[in-house]
Structure 1
Amino acid sequence: MRLQAQPINVVSILGNDYSIKAPQGQEETLAQAVRMLNASLADTKRQYPTLIGDKLLVLAALNLCSRQIELQREHQQTLERTQAQIDATVDAIVRTIAEQ
């Protein structure tokens, strides 16, 4: 049995090149993540022009993580609202069937 080697992708972040192995089929996801990180770095740099290197990277990463947490909370609230609507619909159907 031969394992298929993962392709190595070279990405650039803060002017440094990194060789990263991405599972087959995940190359585009990696490319999107790099674009998102670079965009976040650029935004953070505009807000805090004196930040460089690790400090810039950490602040940009924290901003991305904060946004991810917000999205997860919004998603959970949407799921809870949807479940409540489903439960109400099922209750209404059960009542309608019981009345007949």
Structure 2
Amino acid sequence: MSNVRVVSFLGQDYSFRISESEELLFQQATELLQQKLNESREQRAGSDAHQLLVTTALALCVSQIQQNEQLQQAEHRLTALVAQFQSVD
């Protein structure tokens, strides 16, 4: 079963249909987005809502890309370590 959740960002309401299993994740995501929007608003005083939303989305995308790169590097290191230990046996 899914529930409709309404959240407000920058004075605009948005409705989302969220399954019960996604409820916590949705709540965490909306809190993170609100936090990042607030940070953007502080850094870019005078920007309109659209500019804040775009710059915040880009900052979140940059963060996601960096985390993906770090994960890939860690996976490569682990793969190399496993291969090294297998060659020792």
Whether these two folds match at TM > 0.5 is yes
Question: Where is the strand percentage greater, Structure 1 or Structure 2?
Answer: 2
Partner of 1:59: 55
Distance in 2 separating the partners of 1:67 and 1:30? 19
Partner of 2:4: 8
Asked if residue 36 in structure 1 is aligned to residue 32 in structure 2, the reply is yes
Partner of 2:17: 21
Deviation, structure 1 residue 45: 1.0
- Aligned-pair identity in percent equals 30
Partner of 1:82: 78
* Root mean square deviation, CA, Å: 1.0
3-state secondary structure, aligned to 2:53 = helix
Partner of 2:65: 69
Residue ranges of structure 2 left out of the alignment (5+ in a row): none
How many corresponding residue pairs?
Answer: 89
Deviation digits for residues 49-85 of structure 1, max 9, x if unmatched? 1112111100000000000000000000000001000
Q: Which moved more, 1:40-49 or 1:76-85?
A: 40-49
Residue ranges of structure 1 left out of the alignment (5+ in a row): 94-100
Q: Which moved more, 1:11-20 or 1:35-44?
A: 11-20
Query: Max radius of gyration: which structure?
Result: 1
Distance in 1 separating the partners of 2:9 and 2:23? 16
TM-score, normalization: structure 1?
Answer: 0.84
Find runs of 4+ consecutive structure 1 residues off by over 2 angstroms.
Answer: none
Partner of 1:96: none
3-state secondary structure, aligned to 1:49 = coil
